[in-house]
Structure 1
Amino acid sequence: MRLYQLPTGTYRTRAALAVTGGSFRDVRAFAATAVLVSHPHGDLLIDAGFGAHVGEHVRMLARVERAPLELGRTVAQQLDDAGYDRSRLAGVLVTHVHWDHVSGLDSLRVPVWINREELRYARSDPHGAVFRAVSAGLEIREYDLGGPAHLGFPASFDVHGDGSVVVALAAGHTHGSVVVFVTLPDGDRYAFIGDLTWQIDGITRGAERPWPLRRMADVDADTVRLGLQRSIALSRLMRIVPSHDVGAYGSLPRLTGPVAPADA
């Protein structure tokens, strides 16, 4: 097994709008980064980053949700640049369906892995508009979060049945948002926590989103708070990666060449 980061760009938000106690003078680059999980039983992407038509996707947002973007290369372009064999890619496992996690599906003709609650949210909530556009015509691979509680989270799905990639229900940010736990053969462990917090401050000092942003961004702020507390407790055991913290991806290499066959 191997992990790779595929950064597709950033957008900028003031820290005061991202974490309680943040400064208006502190302008944060929010990552739009996908992670490739190479596994002997099939590779998966965690989220999809910015897509080829991200400008159109941003125009689908309410004006208050738009922010200046810095664009990189899409996941699809990076895979092709590296000579990656796309037949190995089993699909994109989305932590949740907000635009900055799914825009890149517009260039990836692969299945979308999603649970029932998140799919219901995606089909009905205004914040699912971009997902509805980019997933049109794609295979939806609905997985069941019927497995046991996992590391404090209430339900789970073991992707390969070997404990190496386990999806756990977080909820709160969206109805079916998830944490993806990855355990590598060398013992390194990662928790890709989606938007339980936008920045690593949420882990290092327990800083929640500011109250107005909690009301706007989360469907259940109390559940987000509980998931954040669980993630803080786990930070002593594994690397916690909030989706939008650029520095949190620092331990992951970039994809620069063909991926050798993964060993179990």
Structure 2
Amino acid sequence: MTAWDGEQGAFWVKWADRFDAGVEAYRERFLAAAAIESTSAVLDVGCGTGQMTREAAKAGGRALGVDLSSPMIELARDRARAVPNAEFLQADAQIHPFPEASFDRVISRHGAMFFGDAEAAFANLARALRPGGRMVLLSWQPGDRNEWASTFRRIFTANAEVPATPPAPGTLADPAATRGLLESAGFTDVRVSAVAEPMFFGRDVEDAAEFIEAQFGWMARDLSEEDGARVPGVLRADMAGHLSEGGVRYPSAAWLVEASR
């Protein structure tokens, strides 16, 4: 919680528009799966700076976005001034005492992958859903299926070998583990669908490189001076190969998780 409420949260606030633009290609399918109705009460978990909460509020009756980060919640509130039925709360969705059976939808765009205690978190969310309610999540597939993640990790570690480890259940990266986790929490009809979209990183190479260096630069701290000096050039060369009229884009892959209560 400390990181999200500190430097990491501040970083996401600084680059809020870029993070939203990065996954924009997933928005339409994610919202279609959520099927928010005009009377829906929606809980957006790990709402960040609130884009999906605002979208849910515009489609439904009311939407509550929760996040650990006070800087992100502050920006979310500021951006939702014209959306009166969107509310925001700094809270830990794992343990927050949401009123029982008070939401028709629980949604989370890449926010439900970070639970420290996933079993407790999803049990809490199941209690918050009304009978017949639905939960829709978007989570990343493993890194080796996301070219952007594997490429940037390779560049900033100078091709260091990173041992492959099985994805933990709470990361939602493994479909079988995700189904078991959600079913044990009280969800039914759990479906996990593979989705793939290009991910946006910047208008041009320099714009994208500035963003990625700010996000991944810490990985290069232990490199030798010689290897570290190569990183900027290697990064820009790779991005140049992914530049098109739509900016710098890399393939990405996610899981669309749907479940009922």
TM-score (norm 2): 0.33
Q: TM-score, normalised to structure 1's length?
A: 0.33
Q: Larger helix proportion, structure 1 or 2?
A: 2
Larger Rg: 2
